[in-house]
């Protein structure tokens, strides 16, 4: 049986020996650390839904290489239906966790490597694709979590990797050996890195021949010697260290980002999928970006569902749910959220088969999807904060609420409608705070801007992807400037 349960996944993490630092201290037991554990719970949900009969068709798939039933997060897309199911699964999990569940990047990395390693073998005569398939069997057979590591520190953005004063500001090959390679550098903003079994490294940008040492892709176990994890700081994260529950907003789940240091890490050849083939760095980045921008149509609409539900709930608790202005704001929130989801479904439905057999999304529509995500969640958050009121950021703490001396005043004066307990009102307010500006914003608002690339990167791809000559021709034909049979006009 290749499908792990959530409990089995958590136990599997205890077998690793990671080097993790958080708030300036080394963490000996990441699994049970109160700041880290909520993010582990989120990822655990990806295993639980795969074992739930209600979601079997959505959360699992049949491996195209082994024929076994596997978790969809380790699957290689074999049809547009697979692409659509991915988006639907991500929305489901976003709604269940209310935050980032950290498994999308690894899934997108696997599918990207499936395409690019095949193309490299076809054009260069390498054997990367067979290496990748063997690695994929291992990942699928053990139902592993893969961290996709792409973003480099980058240093001076005006300089190429090989031009940097410090050559390690992009991860690079420092030694080629008979048995493998040695790499040095760092990867930034790594979603779910501390919660992963495997780290899949990819180049972060286009490369030239002078940059060939930076054109490298490989996979290694997350506890490989030389890896150091520095846990990312989130707003309000130390609330998890307090003896509180509802002050954290999301009482069970959380997101996670980390910086990974590669301190002269050895990688055996069988796990190397690119080694100096600089001309394939851009196709890898391009394909990965398309997949990951598609992902946001699912996960962000799922978390959006939670935030919209919280906004509607606080409106009820405040006694204003029937106000026409409140209802109109909630309609607008739903309109924006469903638009994000629609783009995710559209780019999936318009996907095409690549030479490797792996299906790739419509790249233009995937970039449209992510570009909407850089805007719409911010407006959804603004409307949620508008509906919630100023108490969202001025409410007393849970400890004040439970204090035997002053708790009665918090209970009395922060009550909304009479039938709803004050605690419930505070809980919903903290959840809105969590998603919009606190612990959960890493998986919603802030990540919506820079995750999968900044807005300008999508605008560049939109400009490249749109056939403007075709659009001009349509206009000229209708205006009578050019003549052409309608049958010749592209759809």
Q: What pLDDT, on the 0 to 100 scale, is given for residue 95?
A: 98
Q: What pLDDT, on the 0 to 100 scale, is given for residue 484?
A: 80
Q: What pLDDT, on the 0 to 100 scale, is given for residue 210?
A: 98
**Catalytic: 313?**
no
- Give the active site residue among 146, 147, 299, 369: 299
Domain 6-279 is classified in which CATH homologous superfamily? Butyryl-CoA Dehydrogenase, subunit A, domain 2 (2.40.110.10)
Please determine, for residue 132, whether its predicted confidence score (pLDDT) is greater than 90: yes
Quick: pLDDT tens for 319-329: 999 999 999 99
- Give the active site residue among 119, 198, 257, 398: 257
Domain 284-468, CATH: 1.20.140.10
**Catalytic: 296?**
yes
**Catalytic: 422?**
no
> Hey, where are the domains in the chain?
6-279, 284-468
Quick: pLDDT tens for 199-231: 999 999 999 999 999 999 999 999 999 999 999
Q: How confident is the model at residue 486 (pLDDT cuts 50, 70, 90)?
A: low
Quick: pLDDT tens for 415-425: 999 999 999 99
Please determine, for residue 1, whether its predicted confidence score (pLDDT) is greater than 60: no
**Catalytic: 398?**
no
Please determine, for residue 440, whether its predicted confidence score (pLDDT) is greater than 80: no
**Catalytic: 74?**
no
Q: What pLDDT, on the 0 to 100 scale, is given for residue 488?
A: 55
What is the pTM assigned to this prediction? 0.96
> In the structure encoding, which two tokens stand for residue 17, read together?
């020996």
Give the lowest-confidence range in 26-30, 293-297, 336-340, 446-450: 446-450
- Give the active site residue among 191, 204, 248, 313: 191
Quick: pLDDT tens for 255-283: 999 999 999 999 999 999 999 999 999 99
Q: What pLDDT, on the 0 to 100 scale, is given for residue 23?
A: 97
Q: Please determine whether the domains at 6-279 and 284-468 fall in the same fold group of CATH.
A: no
């Amino acid at each position: 049986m290749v499908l792990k349960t959530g409990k089995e996944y958590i136990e599997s993490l205890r077998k690793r020996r990671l080097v993790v630092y958080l708030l300036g201290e080394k963490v000996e037991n990441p699994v049970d650390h109160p700041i880290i554990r909520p993010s582990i719970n989120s990822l655990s949900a990806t295993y639980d839904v795969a074992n739930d009969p209600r979601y079997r068709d959505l959360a699992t798939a049949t491996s195209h290489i082994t024929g076994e039933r596997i978790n969809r997060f380790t699957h290689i897309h074999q049809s547009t239906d697979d692409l659509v199911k991915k988006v639907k699964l991500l929305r489901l999990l976003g709604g269940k966790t209310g935050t980032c569940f950290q498994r999308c990047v690894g899934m997108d990395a696997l599918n990207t490597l499936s395409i690019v390693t095949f193309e490299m073998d076809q054009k260069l005569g390498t054997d990367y694709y067979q290496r990748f398939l063997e690695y994929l069997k291992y990942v699928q057979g053990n139902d592993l979590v893969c961290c996709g590591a792409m973003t480099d520190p980058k240093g001076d953005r005006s300089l190429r990797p090989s031009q940097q004063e410090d050559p390690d500001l992009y991860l690079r090959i420092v030694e080629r050996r008979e048995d493998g390679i040695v790499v040095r550098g760092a990867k930034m903003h790594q979603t779910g890195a501390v919660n992963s079994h495997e780290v899949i490294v990819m180049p972060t940008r286009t490369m030239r021949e002078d940059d060939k040492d930076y054109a490298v892709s490989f996979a290694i176990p997350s506890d490989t010697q030389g890896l150091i994890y520095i846990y990312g700081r989130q707003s309000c994260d130390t609330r998890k260290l307090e003896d509180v529950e509802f002050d954290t907003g999301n009482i069970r789940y959380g997101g996670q980002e980390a910086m990974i240091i590669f301190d002269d890490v050895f990688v055996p050849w069988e796990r190397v999928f690119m080694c100096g083939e600089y001309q394939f760095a851009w196709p890898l980045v391009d394909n990965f970006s398309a997949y990951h921008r598609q992902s946001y149509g699912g996960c962000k609409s799922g978390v959006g569902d939670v935030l919209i539900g919280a906004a509607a709930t606080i409106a009820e608790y405040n006694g204003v749910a029937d106000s026409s202005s409140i209802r109109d704001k909630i309609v607008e929130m739903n309109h924006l959220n469903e638009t994000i989801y629609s783009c995710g479904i559209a780019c999936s439905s318009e996907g095409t088969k690549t030479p490797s057999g792996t299906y790739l999304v419509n790249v233009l529509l995937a970039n449209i999807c992510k570009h909407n995500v850089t805007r719409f969640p911010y407006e959804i958050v603004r409307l949620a904060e508008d509906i919630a009121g100023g108490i969202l950021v001025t409410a007393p703490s849970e400890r004040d609420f439970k204090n035997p001396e002053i708790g009665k005043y918090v209970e009395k004066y922060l009550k909304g409608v009479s039938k709803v307990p004050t605690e419930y009102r505070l809980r919903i307010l903290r959840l809105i705070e969590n998603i919009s500006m606190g612990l959960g914003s890493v998986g919603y608002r802030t990540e919506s801007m820079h995750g999968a690339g900044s807005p300008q990167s999508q605008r560049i791809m939109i400009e490249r992807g749109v056939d403007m000559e075709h659009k001009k021709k349509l206009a000229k034909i209708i205006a009578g400037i050019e003549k052409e049979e309608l049958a010749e006009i592209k759809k």
